[in-house]
Amino acid sequence: MHSTKSVRRRLAGAAIALAVAAARIAPAAAQPTLHLPLSSSPPTGDSVIARIYDEGMRRSQAYPLAQTLMDSIGPRLTGSPANRAANDWLVRTYASWGVGARNEKYGTWRDWARGQSRVELLAPRARTLEATMLAWSPATPAGGVTGEVVMLPPTAESRDSAGFARWLGTVRGKLVLVSYPQPTCRPDSDYGAWAPPATVAAVKAARDSGAAEFRRRVTVGGYNTRTLLPALEAAGAAAVLGNTWSRGWGVDKIFAARTARVPTFDVSCEDYGLLARLAERGQHPRAHAVAEATSAPNEAPVYNTIAEVKGSALPNEYVMLSAHLDSWDGASGATDNGTGTIIMLEAMRILKQVYPHPKRTILVGHWSGEEEGDIGSGAFAADHPEVLAGLQALFNQDNGAGEIDTVQTNGFVDAAAHFARWMSRMPADVTRTTVLALPGIAHDESTDSDAFDCRDAPGFFLTSSDWSYGDYTWHTNRDTFDKIDFATIRRNATLVAMLAYEASEDPERVSRARRVPPVDAESGRTVAPPRCGTPPRSFAETLTRGGR
């Protein structure tokens, strides 16, 4: 998932809990409360549902699959060798189960591979700093770079653009700090739990005023956060050091470098603060930085991996499972979106085992390029009008390791009736946490279902409970295998397999009727449905559109 949205929670409309086996009805005052155990038996006695439950909950392969993907292959930056290795691993894995799969090329992307990187404080004392080279960063010269660490000057010193230009003339050979140093790396939630209200307010005020002052350091020279970095490169800076703190203990967001020749690092909140204090107090810190990376001279092919089990009765109608395979590479891409990948992979394994001859064709799309703007799924949707025309339902998962807690029906006004019917036939302990958003909102979720929804094809987003996703694992340096809860992944995969089975067998097509776009009560603006852009087929094409 390449951005987070609050509109989903604000505009979910009327949400009804699917209490499919034990209705949550408040008892009358004179009646005793019944506490019924959640059942693992299908309410209708459907033998396929029973076998899906048995295979998914008792013989799950999610753990070994996830361990290989996250630990051995690792993060899957779009266009990287690891991204292609993951594509090939998926094809081999599906083939071992007798499921046909293929890698579909949709374009090219810059081919970059991470090597070793480190930043060491040399003076006024020695310390190995916690730092990570950003994705697509240029490498250092062999042996690294060494220099003084300096901070952007306060506006009281630079005063105006001429003064900032004079300061730029001093940065040659230096490592430049370009982010606001947090006054404390203790999370606000911790202050809220332990500190008196006056302290909480003071910390918030310090963060806000400090960030505003630092923004003025950039703008006084006539720059913004994008244009500053080329200016530092042109001035001869040896390296760029920044910090994108994720508001939790020890977590940073790790994104892309925006330099062409100079290496860029994220330094942890704590160590970045150390460097900033040393520099600002005139204690002349010196550091040594090493960044090893391999960047191919030409762009490399990028692929979606598509798995398929052909329908026996309606082969030209499709049920599709969807999750993006690519990730940022500051950690392992475990919860964004290794978990979604494993859920769909395991669901297809279960279906092949117990439902090998589906009524409708079942597809799985493992997309690349999601983190760059849903490029792989957008390309597939643009290239496969026959799938859009025959799409019964697409189930997309892309936000963490928690239980699927909401089905976003995305403004398809009749879809919830199908989901209610499908899920009422499932064991209660599979659907126990799941809520339907009625009638849902057609809006930009910043995930792959958008590529289908914008074309009025019924794509649905299966959102997960939070599990501190936004602060601790989404695009962070801590998004690793150990953050996965496999009891949850097992249940999610079983739920998805059951949804695919029910959607495949449903005698009715899911309607494409959409709701009238609602108005956001906070902003007063109409909530627009996602727009279908033209997906770029190369990184070079994004540059012609003004991106980087």
Q: What is the pLDDT of residue 400?
A: 85
Higher pLDDT, 522 or 140: 140
Q: Using a pLDDT cut of 90, give the percent of the chain over it.
A: 86
Q: What is the Cα–Cα distance from 215 to 155, expressed in whole angstroms? A: 10
| Amino acid identity, position 74 | G
As a whole number, mean pLDDT of residues 142-170 equals 97
Q: What is the pLDDT of residues 302-360, one digit of tens each?
A: 999 999 999 999 999 999 999 999 999 999 999 999 999 999 999 999 999 999 999 99
CA atoms within 13 A on the CB side of 227: 8
Quote the strand ranges of 49-188, DSSP E. Answer: 100-109, 112-123, 127-129, 131-133, 145-151, 175-177
Output the six-digit token pair for 344: 């769909």
CATH architecture assigned to 125-284: 3-Layer(bba) Sandwich (3.50)
Q: What is the pLDDT of residue 443?
A: 81
CATH of domain 47-110+298-505: 3.40.630.10
Residue 111, classed as helix, strand or coil, is coil
Q: What is the pLDDT of residue 548?
A: 54
CB 244 within 8 A of CB 179: yes
What DSSP designation does 515 have?
A: P
Residue in this structure with the two tokens 């000057």, named with its chain if needed: 153
Distance of CA 174 to the CA centre of its chain: 34
As a whole number, mean pLDDT of residues 372-386 equals 98
26 pLDDT band (50/70/90 cuts)? very low
532 pLDDT band (50/70/90 cuts)? very high
CB 450 within 8 A of CB 458: no
Q: How does DSSP assign 200-258, residue by residue?
A: HHHHHHHHHHHHHHHHHHHHTTT--TTTHHHHHHHTT-SEEEE--B-SSTT-BB--B--
Q: What is the Cα–Cα distance from 402 to 425, expressed in whole angstroms? A: 23
Q: What is the Cα–Cα distance from 71 to 345, expressed in whole angstroms? A: 17
Q: Could you tell me how many residues make up the chain?
A: 548
Q: What is the Cα–Cα distance from 472 to 470, expressed in whole angstroms? A: 6
Q: What is the pLDDT of residue 22?
A: 33
As a whole number, mean pLDDT of residues 78-104 equals 98
Q: What is the Cα–Cα distance from 500 to 486, expressed in whole angstroms? A: 21
Distance of CA 459 to the CA centre of its chain: 18
- Helices 47-58 and 486-505 pack at an angle, to 10 degrees, of 160
Question: What number of other Cβ atoms are within 10 A of residue 29's Cβ?
Answer: 5
CB 7 within 8 A of CB 443: yes
Q: What is the pLDDT of residues 282-304, one digit of tens each?
A: 999 999 999 999 999 999 999 99
185 pLDDT band (50/70/90 cuts)? very high
CB 345 within 8 A of CB 364: yes
Q: Which residues of 433-460 are buried (b: 16+ CB within 10 A; e: fewer)?
A: bbbbbbbbbbbbbbbbbbbbbbbbbbbb
What DSSP designation does 363 have?
A: E
As a whole number, mean pLDDT of residues 95-123 equals 98
Q: What is the Cα–Cα distance from 252 to 273, expressed in whole angstroms? A: 13
Q: What is the pLDDT of residue 376?
A: 98
Question: What number of other Cβ atoms are within 10 A of residue 523's Cβ?
Answer: 10
Q: Is the pLDDT of residue 278 over 70?
A: yes
Q: What is the pLDDT of residue 39?
A: 72
Q: What is the pLDDT of residue 27?
A: 38
547 pLDDT band (50/70/90 cuts)? low
Higher pLDDT, 194 or 9: 194
36 pLDDT band (50/70/90 cuts)? very low
Per domain, the residue ranges of the chain are 47-110+298-505, 125-284
Q: What is the pLDDT of residue 11?
A: 44
User: 13-17, 251-255, 350-354, 394-398: lowest mean pLDDT where?
Assistant: 13-17
β partners of residue 462 = 407
CB 1 within 8 A of CB 337: yes
CB 477 within 8 A of CB 251: yes
Q: What is the pLDDT of residues 465-482, one digit of tens each?
A: 999 999 999 999 999 999
Q: What is the pLDDT of residues 402-430, one digit of tens each?
A: 999 999 999 999 999 999 999 999 999 99
Taking all residues of the chain, what is their mean pLDDT, rounded to a whole number? 93
Higher pLDDT, 225 or 139: 139
2 pLDDT band (50/70/90 cuts)? confident
Please, what sign has the CA dihedral across residues 41, 318, 464, 254?
A: positive
Higher pLDDT, 17 or 49: 49
Query: Fold identical between 47-110+298-505 and 125-284?
Result: no
What 3 state SS string does 381-397 have? HHHCHHHHHHEEEEEEC
What 3 state SS string does 450-485 have? HHHHCCCCCEEEEEECCCCHHHHHCCECCCCHHHCC
As a whole number, mean pLDDT of residues 63-90 equals 98
Question: What number of other Cβ atoms are within 10 A of residue 420's Cβ?
Answer: 15
Q: Is the pLDDT of residue 21 over 70?
A: no
What DSSP designation does 372 have?
A: G
Output the six-digit token pair for 259: 């330099």
Q: What is the pLDDT of residue 72?
A: 98
Q: What is the Cα–Cα distance from 298 to 168, expressed in whole angstroms? A: 33
Q: What is the pLDDT of residue 14?
A: 39
Whole-angstrom CA distances from 380 to 2, 18, 203, 530 are 18, 33, 47, 16
Q: What is the pLDDT of residue 538?
A: 98
β partners of residue 302 = 107
Q: What is the pLDDT of residue 529?
A: 82
Q: Is the pLDDT of residue 20 over 60?
A: no
